[in-house]
Amino acid sequence: MSTPDSPQSAARAGRPTVSLVISVWNRKDDLRENLASIRAQTVKADQVVVVDNDSHDGTPEMVVTEFPEVQLIRMPHSAYGACETFNIGFSSAWGDFVGILDDDVVLPADFVAQMLAAFDAEPPTTAIVSPKVIEPEMPDWYKDSAEVNTPRYLSTFRGCGSMARGDALRKAGFYDQHFFIFGNERDLTTRLLNLGYRVKMEPGIEVFHKAPFGMRHGKRSLYYHVRNFWLWAFKYLPWSKVLAFPFVFLRKGLGGKGQGQGGEVSDAVGTIGLFDNIKSVPGGYWICCKATINALWNLPYCLKRRQVCRHPDFDLPIK
């Protein structure tokens, strides 16, 4: 007998199966709102997987009590990175399509339906569809820009509310757990590009993400953004661009969260405000140095996985 979250139920509905994967840590109220928006979908997800990173605020108990249909995976401690917890969720997801959701997103009621329609209009080589993400403090110059509101293929995706073809995700090998957190979407996209896939942004699909617009403030965010850029660069950039990038970075800046960068819209939304972070975080420049040293320490790891990307969609986070 099939259950509402079984492959057979979706097969009877004449559509592909959909799994939604969420990683959470101590965000009970945000997750509750997220799961409520999933429950209200016009096209129901066939499987919802929540990976709890050993929360102590009652998050797992809330899921068990209020959302018994959700498949809950509880980690034994909270030292796991987001890449690893998401990978555990991906490994448990059996859907033809796999939603990649942060714990603090709220989905429109037709999110699953719109994603399936978007994939149906795309060739099989489109591995991920990324939505337009609305966030607090998002300035009008960004939100209303032509780039953000035009469907196009990208060199990264918004990991807070996207959907992937399950077979492409499995073929690429999920996130690189070495990244721990931040920058993992660009790394996964590059491996997908090297496999002949593409990533599409569909601005007609909107999700609300509660995290403030741009780069998250703090030492941890700054450290992993800098370190993980270098890991990505060592894996996929020609050495000429690796060596030239520090000069490009210093010349370009990134400015703040205002309309810097010559009015350009960056797809690497998580790095907008990087220079503000360096200047405002105590010891910001030293943190960047430590991150770079750690990346160099991990150079052998990157060299073993090095595959220069020459796909036409491939691009630097800063040009």
Please report, for residues 13, 18, 179, 180, 278, the alpha-carbon distance to residue 283 in angstroms, rounded to integers and kept in the order given. 56, 45, 22, 22, 8
Residue 60: which pLDDT band, with cuts at 50, 70 and 90? very high
Task: State the total domains in the chain.
Answer: 2
User: Do residue 123 and residue 174 come from a single domain?
Assistant: yes
The position carrying tokens 């555990």 is 88
User: Do residue 91 and residue 63 come from a single domain?
Assistant: yes
Res 3 pLDDT > 90: no
CATH of the domain at 119: 3.90.550.10
Q: 100 pairs with which residues across the strands?
A: 21, 162
Q: 146 pairs with which residues across the strands?
A: none
- Higher per-residue pLDDT: 6 or 283: 283
User: Do residue 172 and residue 224 come from a single domain?
Assistant: no
CA separation for the pair 114, 120 (Å, rounded) = 10
> What is the CA angle 225-48-103, rounded to 5?
35
**319 assigned to some structural domain:** no
This prediction has a pTM of 0.90
Q: What is the mean pLDDT of the chain?
A: 90
User: Do residue 101 and residue 246 come from a single domain?
Assistant: no
**316 assigned to some structural domain:** no
Measured from the Cβ of residue 311, the count of other Cβ atoms closer than 10 Å reads: 18
3-state secondary structure of 264: coil
**191 assigned to some structural domain:** yes
User: Do residue 233 and residue 134 come from a single domain?
Assistant: no
**55 assigned to some structural domain:** yes
Pairing of β 152-154 and β 198-209:
antiparallel
Do residues 266 and 213 make contact, with C-beta atoms less than 8 angstroms apart?
Answer: no
Q: What percent of the chain has pLDDT over 70?
A: 88
Q: How confident is the model over 168-202, as pLDDT tens digits?
A: 999 999 999 999 999 999 999 999 999 999 999 99
Assign 3-class secondary structure to 95-152: CCEEEEEECCEECCCCHHHHHHHHHHCCCCCEEEEEEEEECCCCCHHHHCCCCCCCCE
Assign 3-class secondary structure to 199-235: EEEEEEEEEEECCCCCCCCCHHHHHHHHHHHHHHHHH
- CA dihedral for 312, 273, 28, 143, sign (positive or negative): negative
CA separation for the pair 11, 286 (Å, rounded) = 55
What's the whole-number mean pLDDT along residues 233-250? 88
Q: Answer with the one of 186, 209, 232 that is the final residue of a domain.
A: 209
What's the whole-number mean pLDDT along residues 77-93? 96
**2 assigned to some structural domain:** no
Instruction: Locate 64 and state its tokens.
Output: 């068990």
User: Do residue 199 and residue 224 come from a single domain?
Assistant: no
Q: How confident is the model over 14-41, as pLDDT tens digits?
A: 889 999 999 999 999 999 999 999 999 9
User: Do residue 84 and residue 36 come from a single domain?
Assistant: yes
User: For residue 315, which amino acid is it?
Assistant: D
What's the whole-number mean pLDDT along residues 273-283? 79
Question: Which phi-psi region, left, alpha or beta, contains residue 43 (left: φ > 0; alpha: ψ -120 to 50)?
Answer: beta
**120 assigned to some structural domain:** yes
Q: How confident is the model over 293-307, as pLDDT tens digits?
A: 999 999 999 999 999
* Range(s) of the domain holding residue 284: 219-303
User: Do residue 167 and residue 232 come from a single domain?
Assistant: no
What's the whole-number mean pLDDT along residues 123-129? 98
User: Do residue 204 and residue 67 come from a single domain?
Assistant: yes
Q: Answer with the one of 161, 189, 209 that is the final residue of a domain.
A: 209
Q: Answer with the one of 209, 236, 262 that is the final residue of a domain.
A: 209
User: Do residue 259 and residue 298 come from a single domain?
Assistant: yes
